[in-house]
């Protein structure tokens, strides 16, 4: 079974930066698609960024140019580098690992951006 552990969340001022990390257990990380999702209070969970096993990336329009998703297969870790943070980025951020028909989720890490 795959376990995902996120870290790096916290409280920052608008315009600041954070780097989120997601460490995955198991041996399937390198062939999996990794994604970052977020959910703000009262809103649907939304895709923020995704990176395939081949390194192809995609981003939500709201974060394009500000966030960067990356992965280090040797460390079984995915990252989300967030810059120019806005109050609207405030949410719980979740790491997702997808392979075949299976999806695994981390517990989430809170990101709060103060105005």
Segment 15-46, tens digit of pLDDT: 999 999 999 998 999 999 999 999 999 999 99
pLDDT of residue 41: 92
Regions of the chain with pLDDT less than 70: none
Q: What angle do CA 6, 91, 41 make, to 5 degrees?
A: 130
Question: How much is the pLDDT for 1?
Answer: 82
Region at 55 (left for phi over 0; alpha for psi -120 to 50; beta for the rest): left
Q: What is the mean pLDDT of the chain?
A: 97
CA distance between the termini of the chain: 40
Q: How much is the pLDDT for 49?
A: 98
């Amino acid at each position: 079974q795959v376990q995902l552990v996120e870290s790096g969340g916290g409280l920052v001022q608008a315009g600041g930066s954070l780097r989120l990390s997601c460490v995955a257990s198991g041996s399937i990380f390198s062939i999996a698609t990794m994604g970052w999702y977020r959910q703000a209070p009262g809103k649907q969970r939304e895709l923020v960024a995704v990176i395939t096993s081949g390194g192809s990336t995609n981003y939500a329009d709201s974060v394009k140019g500000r966030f960067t998703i990356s992965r280090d297969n040797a460390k079984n870790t995915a990252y989300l580098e967030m810059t120019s943070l806005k109050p609207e980025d405030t949410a719980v951020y979740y790491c997702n690992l997808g392979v075949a028909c299976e999806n695994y989720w981390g517990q989430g890490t809170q990101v709060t951006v103060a105005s």
